Structure 1
């Protein structure tokens, strides 16, 4: 009986599509496309990009300075798949690992 309850609980969690962490790579810009775990290509509609990964420039005098660079092809990313698996939040760039 206990094993049946455990199995039912596990099946319910699996069916809900719990939050999962993934690694991805930007394969294309305009529109944004990310390859997740070397097998799933996600178009921009499935991605949530935080402000911290968008370009920020300031002009000081006659010089434009880039404070934050935007995402670019080849960037490695840390993503979290939202519950249900329909959308992915890009958490940050990955610089090692």
Structure 2
């Protein structure tokens, strides 16, 4: 009886296809494509991308307005523009990147959770 219940429980679990983590490799960027085990190719329609793997840049460009007070006059001036470049916080996904995927329940969609890096 115990074996039969165990078999039924495992069968129910397999039928529901619970979420599982897998590793894939980025094989296309625009549109996004990820290959798992050289046999399963996931296109953009099957992928949900988290903010963590998106390119993120911050513009630090700024200038300041100040008053220059002299004994004869007061003038409003503006400093030169500082830090004209952007600061890249995250590069985003590139060809060849290894990524962690979370297969959604039912197996129809995959969440790109994060990029794997070498220690």
Q: How many residues align structurally?
A: 97
Give me the TM-score of the superposition, normalised by structure 2: 0.75
Pairing 1:1-97 to 2, within 5 Å after superposition = 1-61=1-61, 62-96=84-118
- Larger helix proportion, structure 1 or 2? 1
Change (3 A) 1:39 1:96: farther
Q: Which runs of 4+ in 1 moved over 6 A?
A: none
Q: Does the aligned pair in 2 maintain the 1:34–1:41 contact within 8 Å?
A: yes
Give me the TM-score of the superposition, normalised by structure 1: 0.91
Q: Does the aligned pair in 1 maintain the 2:52–2:113 contact within 8 Å?
A: no
Q: CA RMSD in A?
A: 1.4
Whose radius of gyration is greater, 1 or 2? 2
Unaligned runs of 5+ in 1: none
Q: Does the aligned pair in 2 maintain the 1:81–1:88 contact within 8 Å?
A: yes
